[in-house]
């Protein structure tokens, strides 16, 4: 049967574009549908949305032939976690796991731009911008997707990588389970007196963590998690008042703030699709699962879905084979559920009542003093488990 593409990916975000680059590099015909604009390269001040890419995610990006902009990456080699009050403290160093680094921090926009640039060099990849699916139907050996610009496309497999509010997931009626943490994350990009180097740190407080993601030079991305009401008030402070609030509440090691370059608040929710696959269709990335961002693993899980789906497709004969897709879905659901449960546990341990918080402190102390547990957690952070 004649189809337009081997694989049609809905959503050209970081996860969809990474899968597209990986599969197109291996010679498959790929279509990618994106409702927004083609991404541009970030310039000047750093974009607010920053993500960590762990070792396994970097491998997928490399396998797809994508070159990341070295000048806007910040490698990190240490992760330090402690609880306010000093009851528990843990320091993880990549050298202890014989890794050169745990990964890098990169702007979401820089990663997406690099992936699209790679796709533009591949003649077997077609990008359709400014359009979105309005209907989809599975036939024999293929699935059709009708777009809102009147076009209709067919493929042997359709992949939903269109984010947490996936339209494709809605069109095929896959329900989601959601949980609202009633928390917001205020992301603040700052320039600091001190260089921020290669340690990412996080301090747990009873109202939510305070985190610092290092960016090149004297720059950092701060993430301030808090209950909804207090976070909303803080989001409306002017730059001077916000600088003072940061200097009062963040650990002294951050040093003085010389400039706030951007900020935005995000609600925190968890979400899990009840199924990842149906006839010749599969969900990956945030379309399938949204985790609490405190462990910086949401994008990594999505890229691991993409890596695992690419392996399944490249090893099989028919990318839409139901048995292969079910095997993929089972394997990824277990990994994703484990991370959803772990981040949920961290949240409740450190924001719960005093006895629970003490248990959290004990967990941090144990992870610091049990080398096997520490190694396991480091491999988890780098995506190698
Ligand atoms: C505060 C915060 C901090 C975070 N920090 C980290 C971190 O440090 N590390 C980490 O790993 N993760 C982090 N995450 C999570 C990470 O941002 C997400 O997991 C990641 O963006 C998901 O990528 P995605 O490509 O699946 O979805 P998205 O980034 O949402 O991309 C979806 C794409 O699909 C397109 N689209 C949507 N609807 C349609 C449609 N109907 N038709 C066509 N196209 C469509 C969109 O325009 C977009 O391009 C964080 C999240 C938050 C909220």
Give the single-character DSSP code of 101. Answer: -
In the reported structure, the alpha carbon of residue 302 is separated from the centroid of ligand 1 by a whole-number distance in angstroms of: 9
Among the residue ranges 142-146, 272-276, 317-321, 347-351, the one predicted with the least confidence is 347-351
Helix (H) / strand (E) element for 364: namely helix 354-369
In the reported structure, the alpha carbon of residue 55 is separated from the centroid of ligand 1 by a whole-number distance in angstroms of: 19
183-206 mean pLDDT: 93
187 lines ligand 1 (CB under 6 A): yes
CB 22 within 8 A of CB 310: yes
CB 278 within 8 A of CB 264: no
211 lines ligand 1 (CB under 6 A): no
220 lines ligand 1 (CB under 6 A): no
Q: Name which residue sits closest to atom 40 of ligand 1, judged by CA.
A: 132
Q: Categorize the per-residue pLDDT at 303 as very low, low, confident or very high, splitting at 50, 70 and 90.
A: very high
285 lines ligand 1 (CB under 6 A): yes
**Which residue stretches of 236-353 are H helix?**
239-249, 298-315, 322-351
52 lines ligand 1 (CB under 6 A): yes
CA distances from 6 to 3, 113, 124, 156 (A): 7, 24, 10, 5
Nearest-angstrom CA–CA distance, 208 and 266:
14
What pLDDT was estimated at residue 354?
82
Q: How far apart are the first and last CA of the chain?
A: 40
147 lines ligand 1 (CB under 6 A): no
pLDDT digits (tens, 9 = 90+) for 218-250: 999 999 999 999 999 999 999 999 999 999 999
Q: Categorize the per-residue pLDDT at 371 as very low, low, confident or very high, splitting at 50, 70 and 90.
A: confident
Backbone angles phi, psi at 298, to 5 degrees: -60, -50
What pLDDT was estimated at residue 240?
96
Closest alpha carbon to 263 in 232, 304, 303: 232
CA angle centred on 125, ends 124 and 128, rounded to 5°: 140
115-143 mean pLDDT: 97
CA distances from 171 to 160, 163, 281, 326, 341 (A): 11, 14, 11, 20, 28
Domains of the chain by range and CATH?
A: 5-74+107-177+270-353 (3.50.50.60)
What pLDDT was estimated at residue 1?
65
pLDDT digits (tens, 9 = 90+) for 75-116: 999 999 998 877 788 899 998 888 899 999 999 999 999 999
37-48 mean pLDDT: 94
């Amino acid at each position: 049967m004649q189809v337009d593409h081997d694989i049609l990916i809905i959503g050209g975000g970081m996860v969809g574009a990474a899968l597209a680059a990986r599969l197109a590099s291996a010679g498959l015909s790929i279509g990618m549908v994106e409702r927004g604009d083609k991404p541009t390269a970030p310039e000047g001040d750093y974009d607010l949305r920053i993500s960590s890419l762990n070792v396994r995610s970097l491998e997928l990006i490399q396998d797809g032939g994508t070159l990341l902009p070295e000048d806007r990456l910040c490698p990190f080699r240490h992760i330090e976690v402690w609880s306010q009050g000093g009851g528990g403290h843990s320091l993880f160093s990549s050298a202890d796991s014989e890794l050169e680094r745990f990964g890098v921090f990169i702007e979401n926009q820089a990663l997406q731009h690099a992936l699209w640039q790679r796709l533009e060099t591949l003649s077997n990849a077609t990008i359709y911008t400014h359009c979105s699916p309005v209907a989809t139907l599975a036939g024999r050996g293929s699935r059709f997707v009708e777009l809102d610009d009147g076009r209709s496309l067919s493929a042997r497999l359709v992949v939903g990588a269109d984010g947490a509010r996936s339209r494709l997931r809605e069109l095929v009626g896959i329900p989601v389970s959601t949980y609202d943490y009633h928390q917001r994350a205020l992301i603040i990009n700052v320039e600091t007196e001190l260089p921020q180097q290669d340690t990412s740190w996080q301090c747990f407080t009873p109202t939510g963590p305070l985190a610092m993601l290092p960016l090149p030079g004297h720059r950092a991305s701060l993430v301030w998690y808090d209950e909804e009401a207090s976070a909303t008030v803080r989001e409306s402070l002017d730059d001077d008042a916000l600088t003072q609030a940061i200097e009062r509440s963040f650990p002294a090691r951050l040093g003085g703030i010389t400039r706030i370059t951007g900020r935005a608040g995000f609600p925190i929710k968890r979400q899990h699709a009840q199924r990842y696959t149906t006839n010749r269709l599969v969900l990956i990335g945030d379309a399938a699962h949204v985790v609490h961002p405190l462990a910086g693993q949401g994008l990594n899980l999505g890229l691991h879905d993409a890596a695992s789906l690419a392996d399944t497709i490249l090893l099989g004969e028919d990318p839409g084979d139901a048995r292969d897709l079910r095997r993929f879905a089972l394997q990824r659901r277990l990994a994703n559920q484990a991370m959803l449960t772990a981040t949920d546990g961290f949240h409740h341990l450190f924001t719960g009542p005093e006895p629970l918080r003490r248990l959290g402190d004990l967990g941090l102390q144990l992870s610091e003093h049990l080398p096997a547990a520490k190694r396991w957690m480091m491999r988890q952070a780098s995506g190698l488990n």
